[in-house]
Amino acid sequence: MLEAETEAGDYWKKCGDEALAQNVKGIIMMGAHWACLNDKIEVATNPNPGKSPCPFVTPSLYKDWVPNPDLATANRCISMLKAERFNVSPNPTFDWIHDTFLVLIKMFPDFTKCPPVTIISMNARYDPWYHVKVGATLRPLRKEKYLLIGTGGAVHNLYRNNWIDMLLYRESLGQERPPESWALDFRQATEDVVTQNRGPALRKAMIRLMQHPAYREAQATDDHWMPALFAAGAAGDWEDEADPNVLAAETWELVNMCNSQFTFGSYRTGIHKVKEGQDRKEKILRPRMVGIAA
C-alpha cells in the first residue's frame, strides 16, 4: 500500500491538498513504529533527520524527498506534555520512519510544499488511556491550524498476513481470497465505533475495542492501535461532539490487513457563544485526523 496506487493513497493526497488549501500551520504525527521504554515519551528534534529504509518499498520513491521538521512546535509539545506530568524529552538524533514519511510523501509529493512536521513517540507500555491523554493534551493546537495525524493500522497482524504474493511477485493487493472472519469482524467494529461515537464517547469506545473478542487477532501487538487512540484523544472533547467522524477510504492487502482511513472532525467555520446573549462569528479550524494508515 505504501508503494502502489491505492484508494488510501489517493485519500492521503486529497488530505494533503486540503491541508494546503486550509493553510495549516504544521502537522503533528504519532506513528506506530517508535515507542519509548518505562514511563518515557519523546518528541523528535533532529534538525536533519534521515529516513530509515522501508521493506518492499522502492528507495527511489522516498530517497530524494526531504523532511521538514518543526523544532519550534516540537519544543512547544514538550512543554505542553510536561505541564500534564508526562515524562517527556526531546530526541535530537531520531530518524524518521516509513509510518510517517511515506504517508507525508503521498500527501505532499513535492517536499517543498510539506508543512513543518512534529513527530511524537508512543510509550511502549501501550496503555490506552495514556495515549488518549497525549492526544487530549495536544488537542488545543488544532485551533491554531495544526493537523494531527495518527498512523497505524485498523487490522494489522503481520503474523496472520499472507505474504506469498509479496515475496514472489512484490504484489500485495490481489486479494485472491476473502479476509478471515476475525479480520472482517474487527474492521467492522472499528468502523462502527468511529462513525457512531463522538466526543468523549469516541475516546471510551476506541479504548473499549481493545476488549473486542477479535482484537488480539487483529492486532498481534498493540503498537499499531495506539496512534488511533492518540487521534481519538485529540478529537474526543465535548466540543468535538459537533463534528462527525467518518471512514473515508480503505485498502485491504496481504489478504488479512485492512488499512482504514478515518477522519475525525472537519475544517469548518463555527459560531461560538463568547458572552451571554452575544454571538461572535469565529473562524475555527478543526484539522482532520487521518487515522490508522501505515
Instruction: Give the residues lining the site for Fe ion (CB under 5 A).
Output: 32, 294
At its nearest, how many Å lie between Fe ion and the CB of residue 124?
Answer: 15
Provide the CB-side half-sphere exposure for 178 (13 A, CA). 6
Q: Which is nearer to Fe ion, 138 or 294 (CB)?
A: 294
Q: Which is nearer to Fe ion, 116 or 179 (CB)?
A: 179
Q: Which is nearer to Fe ion, 137 or 219 (CB)?
A: 219
Q: Which is nearer to Fe ion, 34 or 86 (CB)?
A: 34
At its nearest, how many Å lie between Fe ion and the CB of residue 54?
Answer: 9
End-to-end CA distance of the chain: 8
At its nearest, how many Å lie between Fe ion and the CB of residue 279?
Answer: 45
Dist CA 43 CA 52 (whole Å): 17
Q: What's the gap between Cα 21 and its chain centre?
A: 20
Q: Which is nearer to Fe ion, 46 or 259 (CB)?
A: 259
Burial 192-228 (b: 16+ CB within 10 A, else e): ebbeebbbbebbebbbebeebebbebbbeebbbbbbb
Find out whether 278 and 137 touch, Cβ atoms under 8 Å.
no
At its nearest, how many Å lie between Fe ion and the CB of residue 151?
Answer: 8
At its nearest, how many Å lie between Fe ion and the CB of residue 156?
Answer: 7
